[in-house]
Amino acid sequence: MKGFWNLTSTISLILSVLFLFGYSYEVVSAVPTTHLCRPDQRDALLQFKNEFEVLNSSFAYHCIINNTIVKPHRKTESWMNNSDCCNWEGITCNPNSGEVVELDLSCSNLGGKFHSKSSLRNLHSLTTLLLSNNEFSGPIMSLIGNLSHLTSLDLSRNGFSEFVPSSKVDLSYLTFLDLSSNSFSGPIPSWIGNLSHLTYLNLFFSQISGMIPSSIGNLCNLTYLDLSANNIVGEIPSSFGNLNQLTTLDVAVNRLNGSFPIALLNLTKLSYLGLYENQFTGTIPHNITSLSKLTTFDGSNNAFTGTLPSSLFTIPSMDRVDMSDNRFNGILEFGNISSPPKLRMLDVNNNNLRGPIPATISKFTNLVRLRLSHYNTQGQVDFNIFSHLKRLEDLDLSYLNTTTALDLNDFLSYFKRLESLVLSGNPVSATNKSPVSGPLFLRNLELSGCGITEFPEFAVNQHMQSLDISNNKIKGQVPGWLWTLPYLTYLNLSNNTFTGFGNSTTVLVSRLYSLALLASNNNFTGNIPSFICDLRGLSILDLSNNNFSGVIPPYVSAVPTAHLCRQAQRDALLQFKNEFEVLDSSFAYDCYFDDDIVKRHPKTESWWNNSDCCTWEGITCNVKPGEVIELDLSCSYLGARFHSNSSLQNLHSLTTLDLSRNRFSGQIMSSIRNLSHITSLNLSRNLFSDPSSIILSSIGNLSHLTYLNLNLNQISGKISSSIGNLSNLTYLDLSGNNIVGEIPSSFGNLNQLTSLNVCVNRLNGSFAIALLNLTKLSSLVVFDNQFRGTIPHNITSLSSLTDFDGSNNAFTGTLPSSFFTIPSIDNVDLSDNQLNGILEFGNISSPPKLRVLYVGQNNLRGPIPATISKFTNLVRLGLSNYKTQGPVDFSIFSHLKLLEVLDLSYLHTTTPIDILSYFKRLNKLFLSGNHV
């Protein structure tokens, strides 16, 4: 029954009846009398629909499909038994045979594990299967079975954990395969090289490890290959040279090593080559020009050495080259340039390049981004060579080791489109005596350590967001117009000789939000200026090492003060930041917290080495010792495999840790088991796959824990009995994993627990008697498991229970009437079990609080008790497949005036139904299989 009831503003009546008397409508003649869809195909789809869960709104992330933002919606709502399945949303049929050939349930808010005999296997003619952007999990084999006609398979952005065994499935016709953003373990299987028709293969961010199998070289039709953001090691195999149809190759963000693979020079159709963030060494070959169609080459963050071959810049199609953060040395040369190259982006920051900047750079007139930081010029620089680059928007010439003073006024006049200029570490001459006719939209200006003596007044007319003029020789007043810049978020004035703040305009000051103001190590005197109280969004304030006097104003005491954070805590956080990856924008789904939409963003962007970590986003410190007590990186599109010695373990005073709604994986338990002060731990909606016994035995040592949420990960195995040590726990959520076995008796020790959720696992055994000790429990959710046996009559000991969902299990016996005497009970769902006998409600004196009751799809029999008329607070009632075995007095429902959803389908009664007049609020009514 999960996700089945979606309330709408109009009444939706599903009246598939066995006998229809007394009704005749002319409109019936306009309805098709035959269905294209074959009955066996319809039945397979309806059975498939019942195999998964429709998730609630808290899972409703927006999806990115073909670079377009798509809002999830429940496509299967149009799947009804009495309609043509070829008209259902997401379904395409062969117009001749009526067989389903395409199934598209991408971004449908669906989740669950697939059964070993999924009915999807019965759609034998399926050629296209698209299930991306959901929360499916389990082995893929159980999903696709013998779909031997498949040509396109997209299972990306789910939680699948196992590859398809080659011996059990025939995918020989497959041309498109996208398994990205899942949680596979182990290496890429070698049999993948047997998919000889494959043109597209995407395994991005799928937790893959090991070496690349040489058999991939057999995929001679491949045009797109993405293996990036995994944990792949070793070298790129020489067999890659056979992939001569390849246009895109991305192996970035792995641990690949070795020299530049010479085999890649055979890929003459290649347009994109991504090698960044690996451990490649050696030189870039001069005959890289054989890649004559290359448009993007990103080899940044490796250990490449030698000179950067000038031939790289003679490739006619080249648009973007990023070789930053390597070990290149020697002189930068561009070769013979006759006509302006197409190159738009060139980044060689942070290498060991030396010598004069080649004058031929002036011919690269299409450049939009140019970064030459830490280029060792060893002398004079003719900055006029940049004057021809009129299209530049991003220019970094910091730390050139030059003696030439750059005239900032003249230099800025070269550029009209510039948005970011970084000149830190160079001698710069700046004067306010002459006007600057420079860029109109400069947003970022960094002039740290440039020896300037005057404040750059031209910034008053800019859209400035970030201004760094630290470590200079500027004296006098900080100009008041600074506070009129409406977009300013970062201002660094530190290490100058400022003596005061000029007059400010209060009205405009109040518009500034989230401003980091660093003004340490100056000569400020007197009282702290009053205008600071108008900086409502001030996030960082550093006024240390000045000559202020007087009393600290109350408004300043409310602002994060400089360097509250202890050095060891900051270092641990910065090291932790370097342990994970900020994922690209394709993961930027919105998150839902308590029905509020929250946009994902990398909170760690505010984590700077020279700032107070207690002011960083996601960080809360204990004010007195300056130790981190709360770390919240939820919804930050972060991904990483936790190491056993993660620096997280050094945050000893941590009480709250929230890493939810990311793509973390690996061994987190070894990092948190010693955080003895933890009270709240939220690791939900990640890719953690440690066995449950390891995770929960480690957590069992965290005796102060009150909140624990591990839902929607890949946790397997049995629950450790040591969880019973968490005697202070009030909230426990283990749902949506792969946990097996029984609930241990030690759960009876969790006598402070108010909420327990273990749904969507593979737990078994009888109803855990130990749970009857949890007298404070208000919510018990165990649906979609394999529990069996009876519901105990003394369940009334759970006297605070409001919600009990035990649907989709194998509970048997009668439903104890004592259940309905619990005064607080609000929601009971025991549908889809094997309950039998007569439904009884016991002695009901006053109207119960019960609002939701689902007991459909069981083996209940006998008359529907007349006392149901006393449940006048019911909003949803489901009694489908209740075997009444005779007449039914439907007037007993006439008192249930608040009903919005009513399912009385298949009651096995001969009594005709006429009940619509009873209800004013009803918007869903199910009467299929009855006389109407």
Query: If phi over 0 gives left and psi between -120 and 50 gives alpha, with beta otherwise, what is residue 514?
Result: left
What is the identity of the amino acid at 668? I
- When pLDDT is averaged across residues 593-604 and rounded to a whole number, the result is 57
- Give the model confidence (pLDDT) of 266-277 as tens digits: 999 999 999 999
Query: Which residues have a Cβ under 8 Å from the Cβ of 423 and sit 6 or more positions away?
Result: 397, 398, 406, 408, 446, 447, 450
Closest C-alpha among 478, 473, 482, 528 to residue 499 = 478
Q: Is the pLDDT of residue 8 over 60?
A: no
Q: Is the pLDDT of residue 902 over 50?
A: yes
How many Cβ atoms sit within 10 Å of the Cβ of residue 133? 24
Helix (H/G/I), strand (E/B), else coil: 90: coil
Query: What pLDDT is attached to residue 588?
Result: 42
CA distance 930 to 932: 6
Query: What pLDDT is attached to residue 33?
Result: 41
Residue 592, judged by CB atoms within 10 A of its CB (0-12, 13-18, 19+), counts as: middle
**176-190, 625-639, 683-697 — which is least confidently predicted?**
683-697
Query: What pLDDT is attached to residue 379?
Result: 87
Q: Is the pLDDT of residue 585 over 60?
A: no
Residues of the chain with pLDDT > 70, as a percent, come to 85
Helix (H/G/I), strand (E/B), else coil: 685: coil
> Residue 27 — very low, low, confident or very high, per pLDDT cuts 50/70/90?
very low
Phi, psi of 796 (to 5 degrees): -65, -15
Q: What is the dihedral of CA 256, 312, 350, 405, to 10 degrees?
A: 180
- When pLDDT is averaged across residues 24-29 and rounded to a whole number, the result is 30
Residue 809, judged by CB atoms within 10 A of its CB (0-12, 13-18, 19+), counts as: buried
Query: What pLDDT is attached to residue 851?
Result: 93
Q: Is the pLDDT of residue 556 over 70?
A: no
**2-6, 115-119, 888-892 — which is least confidently predicted?**
2-6
- Give the model confidence (pLDDT) of 341-382 as tens digits: 999 999 999 999 999 999 999 999 999 999 999 999 988 999
Query: What pLDDT is attached to residue 100?
Result: 96
- Give the model confidence (pLDDT) of 724-767 as tens digits: 888 899 999 999 888 899 999 999 999 999 999 999 899 999 99
DSSP state letters, 869-928: GG-TT-SEEE-TT-B--S---GGGGTT-TT-SEEE-------S----GGG-SS--EEE-T
CA angle (869, 875, 878) in 5-degree steps: 75
Closest C-alpha among 895, 812, 801 to residue 850 = 801
Say if residues 257 and 236 touch (Cβ distance below 8 Å).
no
DSSP state letters, 532-557: GGG-TTEEEEE--SSEE-SPPPHHHH
> Residue 810 — very low, low, confident or very high, per pLDDT cuts 50/70/90?
very high
- When pLDDT is averaged across residues 758-784 and rounded to a whole number, the result is 92
Query: What pLDDT is attached to residue 709?
Result: 93
Say if residues 692 and 668 touch (Cβ distance below 8 Å).
no
From edge to edge, which strands make up the β-sheet containing 810-811?
Answer: 716-718, 738-741, 762-766, 786-789, 810-811
Q: Is the pLDDT of residue 250 over 90?
A: yes
**b/e sequence 370-407, b meaning 16+ C-beta within 10 Å:** bbbbbbebeeebebebbebbebbbbbbbbbbebeeebe
Q: pLDDT averaged over the chain?
A: 84
> Residue 565 — very low, low, confident or very high, per pLDDT cuts 50/70/90?
confident
Query: Which residues have a Cβ under 8 Å from the Cβ of 540 and sit 6 or more positions away?
Result: 515, 516, 517, 518, 560, 562, 611, 612, 615
- Give the model confidence (pLDDT) of 826-883 as tens digits: 999 999 999 998 898 878 777 888 999 999 999 999 889 888 988 999 999 999 999 9
CA distance 852 to 854: 7
Residues of the chain with pLDDT > 90, as a percent, come to 47
Query: What pLDDT is attached to residue 610?
Result: 65
Q: Is the pLDDT of residue 584 over 50?
A: yes
Q: What is the 3-state secondary structure (H, E, C) of 568-594?
A: HHHHHHHHHHCCCEECCHHHCCCEEEC
Query: What pLDDT is attached to residue 184?
Result: 81
Q: Is the pLDDT of residue 265 over 90?
A: yes
**What six digits make up the tokens of 627?**
């130790």
Residue 558, judged by CB atoms within 10 A of its CB (0-12, 13-18, 19+), counts as: exposed
Q: Is the pLDDT of residue 505 over 60?
A: no
Q: Is the pLDDT of residue 6 over 50?
A: no
Query: What pLDDT is attached to residue 671?
Result: 66
CA distance 254 to 231: 5
On the CB side of 265, CA atoms within 13 Å amount to 12
> Residue 240 — very low, low, confident or very high, per pLDDT cuts 50/70/90?
very high
CA distance 783 to 56: 15
Pairing of strands 53-54, 110-113: antiparallel
CA distance 663 to 683: 10
Name the residue with tokens 């949506």. Answer: 736
Pick the more confident residue, 75 or 202: 202
Helix (H/G/I), strand (E/B), else coil: 220: coil
CA distance 216 to 251: 13
> Residue 517 — very low, low, confident or very high, per pLDDT cuts 50/70/90?
confident
Q: What is the 3-state secondary structure (H, E, C) of 358-419?
A: CHHHHHCCCCCEEECCCCECCECCCHHHHCCCCCCCEEECCCCCECCCEEHHHHHCCCCCCC
CA distance 358 to 381: 10
Q: What is the 3-state secondary structure (H, E, C) of 481-497?
A: HHHHCCCCCEEECCCCE
Q: Is the pLDDT of residue 11 over 60?
A: no
Phi, psi of 216 (to 5 degrees): -60, -25
Query: What pLDDT is attached to residue 534?
Result: 67
Query: Which residues have a Cβ under 8 Å from the Cβ of 67 and sit 6 or more positions away?
Result: none
How many Cβ atoms sit within 10 Å of the Cβ of residue 918? 16
Query: What pLDDT is attached to residue 820?
Result: 87
Q: Give the distance from CA 23 to its chain's centroid.
A: 52
Rg (CA), the chain: 33
CA distance 659 to 840: 46
Q: Is the pLDDT of residue 488 over 90?
A: no
Length of the chain, please? 932
Pick the more confident residue, 742 or 34: 742
Phi, psi of 90 (to 5 degrees): 90, 0
CA distance 567 to 613: 9
> Residue 57 — very low, low, confident or very high, per pLDDT cuts 50/70/90?
very low
Closest C-alpha among 649, 656, 647, 648 to residue 622 = 656
Say if residues 690 and 718 touch (Cβ distance below 8 Å).
no
Query: What pLDDT is attached to residue 21?
Result: 33
> Residue 586 — very low, low, confident or very high, per pLDDT cuts 50/70/90?
very low
Helix (H/G/I), strand (E/B), else coil: 293: coil
Give the range with max mean pLDDT: 185-189, 258-262, 565-569: 258-262
Q: Is the pLDDT of residue 67 over 90?
A: no
> Residue 154 — very low, low, confident or very high, per pLDDT cuts 50/70/90?
very high
CA distance 461 to 481: 10
Query: What pLDDT is attached to residue 668?
Result: 65
Q: Is the pLDDT of residue 434 over 60?
A: yes
